[in-house]
Structure 1
Amino acid sequence: MRDTDDVSVLFDCPMSSHISPKAANHLLFLVTLIGKGVLGLIQLASAIAIYLGAMDHLPRIIRWLFSTELAERPPSLIAAQLVKLTAQVPASEASFYTIYFAAHGALHVGVVVALLWGARWAYDAAVVVLAVFVVYQLIEWQLTGGTLLLVLSAIDVAVIYLTVREKRERSRHWG
């Protein structure tokens, strides 16, 4: 009988000094999936905050959050760039960002929940949704630039790869 506090029960892999490649892949899939879920929740919270008027206060909030880094000589490059970026976001685009973050976040959370629930269709849906995001992000990158879009695309491609591997492994058990 296994102890219910045993972490290996959560990850469906035996705890030992050596984790099998299959168990490591499954664990990596779960970690990236949870990360995507957290990102989706942050995006939903961002959509709500923008809808409630946070865009008007964003530059001031960022300056307050990074006041220590901005007071350094020279100021932190990341903090200075964040202040610059938030000052450049036009308030007129609040509706676009609200819809974008709400849709992006809801899709991420929905796919993550379906995958964690074990729905077979969710694997294919996750690949399609993420592939669409990759294409969109790469088009945006071509139009506007920005390293963050490339980073997000690379993460999405990695999650697609892990999802396909996980589906193949699971399909062996589905029969």
Structure 2
Amino acid sequence: MAHVAHRAFKIGIVIKGLDGLLELVGGSALLLTGRPAIHHAVALLTRQELIEDPHDVVANYLQHMAQQLSLSTRHFAGIYLLAHGLVKIVMVVGLLRGLRWSYPMAVVLMTTFMGYQGYRQLHQPSLLLGLLTVIDVIVTCLIVREWRHLPAKTPPIE
């Protein structure tokens, strides 16, 4: 069982790292890309789906969001994604390297992210956000479990 939990921890952390990398890319794209380019990209991504099903919920939602995207929203989302992605990557690197400070930091950060996600869920319920929050709870529990099973710190030799 311990081996399975450790493997799940590693997989969860790698997924968080990839998520952080995607957030860095997405945040950079939002900050560096103009509104017409965003509209064009969303149109390319949703065109085939809307041809097949003009009432596709996801494709229509993406189209609507692209049309409503203001400059201030784009800047906020871009900065948020950059910061969130950078924090995740630092956390993941520390956890994968087994650095002691990264475990409590990761628990605090993950709990903070989950608190914000819970707040968002109360004001704008979303099945996807709910699922991501459940995954974050599982990953946080795995981080705590790994933290508890770290080998004892050896005292310095005098």
TM bracket (short chain): 0.7 to 0.9
1:161 pairs with one of 133, 138, 141: 141
Match of 1:135 among 111, 115, 139: 115
Percent of aligned pairs with the same residue?
A: 33
Are residue 110 (structure 1) and residue 86 (structure 2) matched? Answer: no
- Decide which moves more: 40-49 or 83-92: 83-92
Correspondence for 1:84: 64
Q: 1:120 aligns to what SS in structure 2?
A: coil
**Which whole-Å CA distance do the structure 1 matches of 2:131 and 2:97 have between them?**
28
Could you tell me how far apart the structure 2 residues matched to 1:90 and 1:148 are?
Answer: 23
User: What's 2:74 paired with?
Assistant: 94
Q: CA deviation at 1:54?
A: 4.6
Q: 2:17 corresponds to which residue?
A: 37
CA distance in 1 between counterparts of 2:35 and 2:83 reads 18
TM-score w.r.t. the length of structure 2 is 0.87
1:86–1:25: structure 2 CA closer, same or farther, 3 Å change rule?
same
The counterpart of 1:67, out of the listed 23, 44, 47, is: 47
CA deviation profile, 1:118-154 (whole Å, cap 9, x unmatched): 1011111100000001111111222233333222221
Q: Take 1:111 and 1:30, find their aligned partners in 2: how far apart are those partners? A: 13
Q: CA–CA distance in 1 between the matches of 2:49 and 2:120?
A: 30
TM-align CA RMSD? 1.7
One-letter amino acid of the counterpart of residue 40, structure 1: G
Which residue pairs with 2:125 in the alignment?
Answer: 145
- Bigger RCO (CA 8 Å, 6+ sep): 2
Quick one: which amino acid aligns to residue 65 of structure 1? L
Equivalent position amino acid for 2:90 in 1: G
In structure 2, distance between residues paired with 1:26 and 1:56: 46
